[in-house]
Amino acid sequence: MLHDLLDLVNAEHCLESYETVRPRSSSWLPLEGFCRYLKEPVPAEFTLAPVNSVVGLLNWRVLYMLAAVLAAQGTYLLD
């Protein structure tokens, strides 16, 4: 399911910019730890545009965009 959400976020192209958007470097250690916890590969660099890891779904920009898209579609995850 996380990979489906990741695909949805990247398909919406809401976070695109002329340069790659990256989380702050101070966030990288927790992101790496969460990747290991989920047994997901740790990318050499985390990016948000495009989101290159399921742990990128934890970023506030991604969560905000995902909530807006799901609300617009009338999709509720907790039905």
Q: Which domain holds residue 43?
A: 2-73
- Residue 79 tokens read as 């039905």
Terminal CA-CA length for the chain: 16
| C-alpha to C-alpha distance for 18 and 38, rounded to whole angstroms | 30
Structural domain includes residue 18: yes
Domain count, the chain: 1
Give domain status of residue 6, yes or no.
Answer: yes
Question: Which has the closest alpha carbon to 15: 41, 52, 55?
Answer: 52
Per-residue pLDDT of the chain (79 residues; tens, 9 = 90+): 888 888 888 887 777 665 566 667 777 788 889 999 999 999 888 888 788 899 888 888 888 888 887 787 775 555 5
Domain-embedded: residue 79: no
d(CA 33, CA 73): 33
Q: Is the torsion defined by CA of 60, 65, 66, 72 positive or negative?
A: positive
pTM beyond 0.85: no
Residue 78 lies in a domain: no
